[in-house]
Amino acid sequence: MFAYDFHLELRFNWGLESCWLRGAARVSVFMGSEIETLVIHLARAEGRRAQVEKLLQGTPYPARVLAAVDGAIVPVAERNTGISNRPLFAPSYPFPIGSGEYGCFQSHRKAWQTILDEGLEAALILEDDVELTPVFSDSLAFAVEQSKTYGYVQFQTRRVDKSSVVSRLGRSCLVQPQVTPLRTSAQVVSRSAAEKLLILSEVIDRPVDAFLQSHWHTGLHVTCIVPSGIEDRTQETGGSTISLKRSIWAKMKHELKREFLRGRYRIAVKRLSKSANSVH
């Protein structure tokens, strides 16, 4: 092992795609076992660029922007090839995958692939609409350590059930909820977890957070750090890049139907989660 102090800031521009790499930390490096921060950022989301700059400077690891896959411009034929026309596992996901959801999933796959390609031990993967709070540094240190055992550690922006605590350090708790919370705002992902998830998601049939929720299929039961040290800044940074624009009436009809189907899907997820937990 060796350690070094550095301050590095590089900016590359390739056409419409920009990439930043910035680091300022004392980093201990094991050959082939570094940790980096990957900030997933959609180039056309201009309202989030200031937040991206803050995130690049806010973690103790070398940080870079990972250009998000823009599902809106992915050719239809390519998207159709990557999305299964039948359910891949239970429960059947009740909604079609939108272009934004497809792009989000492929962006996370790109992050997982980067972990393998770069020979990283793990990566802190951040979406570009989050804010780091003062408790984040302690939560992150604990999450990195726990990722060696659990593989995938989430930082949720919503309340997480703390009844399933599996480890503690100071005020930080690692919990493993029976039903994995949705959202992929921030997470530490180990190399072994990234490899497993890539193999299982070559073709997809649901959004990435619903896929990660399905630990009875992936064999990877996601854990969460509490407190996370992460806050949601979606509205402050220009709103969602996934949601479609609809009229008020169309939105009401759409949401009523979705709420019914979503409720049925949640019941099935809860049942399978409980069943899988009882096996273990």
CATH number where 90 lies = 3.90.550.10
Look at the chain and report how many structural domains it folds into: 1
Host domain of residue 58: 2-245
Residue (of 261, 266, 114) closest to 194 by Cα position: 114
166 inside domain: yes
Q: What is the pLDDT of residue 82?
A: 96
Q: What average pLDDT does the chain have?
A: 85
140 inside domain: yes
260 inside domain: no
**pLDDT, tens digit (0-9, with 9 covering 90-100), for 123-178:** 999 999 999 999 999 999 999 999 999 999 999 999 887 678 999 999 999 999 99
Place of tokens 């940080």: 63
Q: What is the pTM of this model?
A: 0.83
**pLDDT, tens digit (0-9, with 9 covering 90-100), for 208-261:** 999 999 999 999 999 999 999 999 987 665 555 555 555 676 677 767 778 878
221 inside domain: yes
274 inside domain: no
66 inside domain: yes
Residue 115, C-beta contacts closer than 8 angstroms, at least 6 positions apart: 122, 123, 189, 191, 194
Q: What average pLDDT does this structure show over 24-38?
A: 58
Q: What average pLDDT does this structure show over 82-107?
A: 96
Please, which pLDDT band fits residue 267 given cuts at 50, 70 and 90? very high
